[in-house]
A and B are shown apart, each in its own frame.
Chain A
Amino acid sequence: MLERYLTAASTYAHSIDHLFILIGALVGFWLVAAETMMFTLIFKFRAKDGRPTQYITGEEKHLKRWITIPHALVLVCDVVIIVGAITVWYNIKQDMPAADETVRVIAQQWAWSFQQAGPDGVMDTADDIRAVGELHVKINTTYHFELMSRDVVHSFAIPAFRLKQDALPGRTITGWFRPNRLGTYDIQCTQMCGLGHGLMAGRIIVETPKDHAAWLLRNASPAQSGQKDLPASAPEGTITMAEARR
């Protein structure tokens, strides 16, 4: 159902979507049941001449059943939802599959920068690729991200991946994703981070291993001047502090 509104492009997107549908079905049933009951009662017991109101305290056993039985059923539905919610949560946020690749995601007012290993496959070496606003990843590859912030609280969200994690200054938060659909997707900041919050955009590009390898080679060598595929400064739509103050 969620896919009708937004592409699902990571392995866990579907489990979140399924949980959404499960909850929607259960609470939808109760919503319709309660509203129907309410409007039926309003209609059935509208004031009529010669029909006095009934004296009911709510202690009568045969009437209390109408509350206690639905109430117990609501509790059962809650338990089902809790089990579903915790399962999905555990699989996404607690249980980290082994990483094929690692990227470092650095948030700051008001841009995303990314660091990943160059062709040597090792992070923090001379051929690391650093980019602003654009993150290139391989399809069907499990990525760990190390999320940090240079200033205030930001939130790293890739709606198409159903991924969201706040970035906190002073901490490195690790999470994972595994893209399974080619394409370019939005990265949004979802935690109010100041003037440029609404403009703090990024893009994630999911490519085939071949394209990715080519991109790596084009951008990795530190000897070449100017990494031509990468935006020279902040990408379009990102505003700098100086511009923002104007």
Chain B
Amino acid sequence: MSTQVQHAEPGFFHKYLWSTDHKMIAMQYMFTGMAMALIGGFFAYVFRMQQGFPNQNVPGFGLVTPGKYNAVVTMHGSIMIFWVAMPILIAAFGNFLIPLMIGCDDMAFPRINRLSYQIFLLSALVLLSSFLVKGGPFGGAWTAYPPLSASGAYNLTPAGAVLWLIAVALEFVAFLMGGINFTVTTMNSRAPGMKMYDIPLVVWMIVLASIIFMCSAGPLIAGAVMLLFDQTMSTGFYDPTRGGDPLLWQHLFWFFGHPEVYVVLLPAMGIVAEVVAVFARKKVFGYKTVLYTTWAVGFLSFVVWAHHQFVAGIDPRMANIFSITTLMISVPITEMVFLYIATLYGGSITLDTPMLWALGFIAEFLIGGVTGIFLGSSGTDIYLHDTYFVIAHFHYTFVPIAIISVFAGITFWYPKMFGRMLNETLGKIHFWGTVIPFNVIFIPLFITGTAGDQRRVYSYAQFAEQSRPALQHLRTTSTIALLFMLSFQLVFLFNFFWSLRNGKTAGPNPWRSSTLEWTVPSPPPHGNFAELPTVYRGPYEYGLPGAAQDFAPQNLPDSALAEGMKA
């Protein structure tokens, strides 16, 4: 495996590429995820250009043929979920934050942790290698329904389909290892005095997300093995002419696929909780209730999967059950969002860049949440299923999750990660330059979806209803907004790399936050804590009556509270 490393610089290899330090592994995950995000974003640019300006050469890509269109759509979806949202939200933040926030020196299994990243990197390389094989990358949508995905005669990408499947399976292996590590570390390595209800929400949420992932991934891995056999050994698990059933895959896929939504949502909610508490100078409203609703969401997420299959040919009576469970999951999620909003009450709110992102998350995620009701209701889903309404809906959940909350997290913990502050002005330009175009991209798509635009259609020229000029204007508007949103990411990249050297020195606790990661130097040294801390209180004690300052660090004994700690 070491052949992949060409750098000869002594020490570099062990420091940056073969490290078992959780912070370095977090950086590896984060930079790999960011690189994949650039690729996934480029694909969005390619297919949106085809939608906005049909059948013209796309600068930097060329003509988008139907086959290429299907491939970039499939790769965009797969990459953004499996190789961007998961590595950044769970692996990068989980690895960086868990040991620091619970007060220990490293993960429980550092070498499993290193292996986890290496397998993840391998999975990304396998996926990207599918661009080099004959027939090109898989184009059968990220859901990979058989028989299309099972047979090269149907999908015309025999090698690409196999590589896609292997890449997804490897990615799962990586995250199973990561999940074990996060759970075990949080359960066993907490600082003395840190009780279950003293664990910061983001740690809780990453652990719960890992548990949900581990519980839901099994069936899909089994399904993937069967699909791989169908592809490569001519078995017939999904082939109805030989006694198989294509619906089996759909059940296995969505039994994983829907909990997966919450696997990425929960860490995002956790990040937002941390940021909102710090910048509102408030204890999270109803910490325990937030946790209970999280457990409820986690449980319910396992019994809603067939709402992706209302019209897939399942017994229509089943749809009623899944419609009920789907609408029921809105109850704990609503409660959670209400609690976040309530946290603002009585606070002392400053709108620094991380807070803008966190509030942006809540505001935008609400839209994603309520539009989901139209789709969870079986009656309206008959019409809206697989239209652009679905696309707009889940981007209103996934963009807040994988983009907005990630920026909240990066801007918030950047000082801790690199010891320097990001530039606030550039941060705010980046925020507005991302959030405004984001809405201009997807609001038009709600309308085109409501007007009957079906998904994954390369050109609407052959549909009289869909080729009305009014709808084309909306598609073009959406594409232009995407160009704006993508170009504003350059501001972020510039800010990120420029501030590494030129940012203001951060000091250990620039945001005056009370959780443990802010008690160590920025960036934290190897081993994190010079002396392992003891915890005396919960994570969000802001404005505690009788304290000398408006935050009470978790590791400060009650006796020292009145004098306060050095700022």
| Residue pair A81, B311 in contact (C-beta under 8 Å) | no
Query: Is there a chain A Cβ closer than 8 Å to B289's Cβ?
Result: yes
Nearest B residue (CB) for A26:
B373
One of A38, A52, A84, A192 near B145 (C-beta < 8 A): A192
Query: Is there a chain B Cβ closer than 8 Å to A153's Cβ?
Result: yes
| Residue pair B367, A192 in contact (C-beta under 8 Å) | no
| Residue pair A155, B311 in contact (C-beta under 8 Å) | yes
Nearest A residue (CB) for B317:
A94
Query: Is there a chain A Cβ closer than 8 Å to B527's Cβ?
Result: no
Q: In the complex, which residues of chain B have a beta carbon less than 8 angstroms from the beta carbon of A82?
A: 323-324, 327, 377
For the complex, give the distance between the alpha carbons of A87 and B379 in Å.
8
In the assembled complex, how far is the CB of residue A32 from the closest CB belonging to chain B, in whole angstroms?
A: 10
Nearest B residue (CB) for A67:
B338
The 0/1 profile, CB within 8 Å of A marked 1, for residues 331-371 of chain B is 10011011101111111111100000001001100110011
| Residue pair B383, A89 in contact (C-beta under 8 Å) | no
| Residue pair B382, A51 in contact (C-beta under 8 Å) | no
Query: Is there a chain A Cβ closer than 8 Å to B472's Cβ?
Result: no
| Interface-facing stretch out of A99-107, A161-169, A224-232 | A161-169
Query: Is there a chain A Cβ closer than 8 Å to B466's Cβ?
Result: yes
| Residue pair A85, B379 in contact (C-beta under 8 Å) | yes
One of B313, B339, B452 near A159 (C-beta < 8 A): B452
Q: In the complex, which residues of chain A have a beta carbon less than 8 angstroms from the beta carbon of B455?
A: 190, 192
| Residue pair B543, A153 in contact (C-beta under 8 Å) | no
One of B70, B362, B380 near A16 (C-beta < 8 A): B380
For the complex, give the distance between the alpha carbons of A168 and B238 in Å.
11
Q: In the complex, which residues of chain B have a beta carbon less than 8 angstroms from the beta carbon of A23?
A: 373-374, 377, 380
Query: Is there a chain A Cβ closer than 8 Å to B155's Cβ?
Result: yes
Nearest A residue (CB) for B542:
A53
| Residue pair A89, B545 in contact (C-beta under 8 Å) | no
**B: number of interface residues (CB 8 Å):** 99
One of A15, A45, A186 near B348 (C-beta < 8 A): A45
Q: In the complex, which residues of chain A have a beta carbon less than 8 angstroms from the beta carbon of B145?
A: 152-153, 191-192
Contacts A56-B346, A89-B379, A159-B452 given; indicate if A152 touches B148 (C-beta within 8 A).
yes
| Residue pair B463, A186 in contact (C-beta under 8 Å) | yes
| Residue pair A162, B543 in contact (C-beta under 8 Å) | no
| Residue pair A186, B286 in contact (C-beta under 8 Å) | no
Q: In the complex, which residues of chain A have a beta carbon less than 8 angstroms from the beta carbon of B337?
A: 34
Contacts A51-B348, A63-B345 given; indicate if A152 touches B154 (C-beta within 8 A).
yes
Q: In the complex, which residues of chain A have a beta carbon less than 8 angstroms from the beta carbon of B380?
A: 16, 19-20, 23, 85, 88
One of B139, B311, B346, B366 near A53 (C-beta < 8 A): B346
| Residue pair B465, A6 in contact (C-beta under 8 Å) | yes
In the assembled complex, how far is the CB of residue A119 from the closest CB belonging to chain B, in whole angstroms?
A: 30
Q: In the complex, which residues of chain A have a beta carbon less than 8 angstroms from the beta carbon of B350?
A: 46-47
| Residue pair B281, A53 in contact (C-beta under 8 Å) | yes
Query: Is there a chain B Cβ closer than 8 Å to A131's Cβ?
Result: no
Query: Is there a chain B Cβ closer than 8 Å to A244's Cβ?
Result: yes
A39-55 contacts to B (CB < 8 Å): 41-42, 45-48, 51-55
The 0/1 profile, CB within 8 Å of A marked 1, for residues 444-472 of chain B is 00010011101111110111111000000
> Which range holds the interface residue count of chain A?
35 or more
| Residue pair A53, B465 in contact (C-beta under 8 Å) | no
| Residue pair A89, B344 in contact (C-beta under 8 Å) | no
Query: Is there a chain B Cβ closer than 8 Å to A129's Cβ?
Result: no
Query: Is there a chain A Cβ closer than 8 Å to B179's Cβ?
Result: no
| Residue pair A89, B320 in contact (C-beta under 8 Å) | yes
Contacts A67-B342, A92-B379 given; indicate if A74 touches B330 (C-beta within 8 A).
yes
| Interface-facing stretch out of B100-108, B164-172, B241-249, B297-305 | B241-249
Q: In the complex, which residues of chain A have a beta carbon less than 8 angstroms from the beta carbon of B378?
A: 85-86, 88-89, 93
For the complex, give the distance between the alpha carbons of A3 and B93 in Å.
46
| Residue pair B386, A42 in contact (C-beta under 8 Å) | no
In the assembled complex, how far is the CB of residue A199 from the closest CB belonging to chain B, in whole angstroms?
A: 6
Nearest B residue (CB) for A31:
B370
Query: Is there a chain A Cβ closer than 8 Å to B429's Cβ?
Result: no
Q: In the complex, which residues of chain B have a beta carbon less than 8 angstroms from the beta carbon of A159?
A: 383, 452, 454, 465
Q: In the complex, which residues of chain A have a beta carbon less than 8 angstroms from the beta carbon of B349?
A: 42, 45-47
Nearest A residue (CB) for B551:
A53
Query: Is there a chain B Cβ closer than 8 Å to A201's Cβ?
Result: yes
Contacts A20-B380, A71-B331, A191-B386 given; indicate if A168 touches B246 (C-beta within 8 A).
yes
Q: Which 7 A-B pairs have the closest CB atoms?
A: A170-B240, A88-B379, A58-B286, A237-B462, A159-B452, A54-B346, A85-B377
A/B interface sample: 24 pairs, CB < 8 A: A6-B451, A27-B370, A41-B345, A46-B349, A47-B349, A47-B350, A55-B542, A82-B327, A87-B379, A93-B378, A151-B147, A155-B311, A159-B465, A160-B452, A164-B385, A169-B240, A173-B313, A186-B465, A190-B385, A192-B143, A193-B148, A194-B156, A198-B70, A244-B66
- Which A residues have a C-beta under 8 Å from some C-beta of B? 2, 5-7, 15-16, 19-20, 23-24, 26-28, 30-31, 34-35, 37-38, 41-42, 45-48, 51-59, 63-64, 66-67, 70-71, 74-75, 78, 81-82, 84-90, 92-94, 109, 151-153, 155, 157, 159-160, 162-171, 173, 184-186, 188-199, 201, 203, 236-237, 244-245
**11 extra interchain contacts, Cβ-Cβ under 8 A, other than A169-B147, A186-B466?**
A19-B377, A45-B344, A45-B348, A52-B550, A63-B342, A89-B379, A165-B313, A171-B313, A188-B463, A192-B145, A195-B70
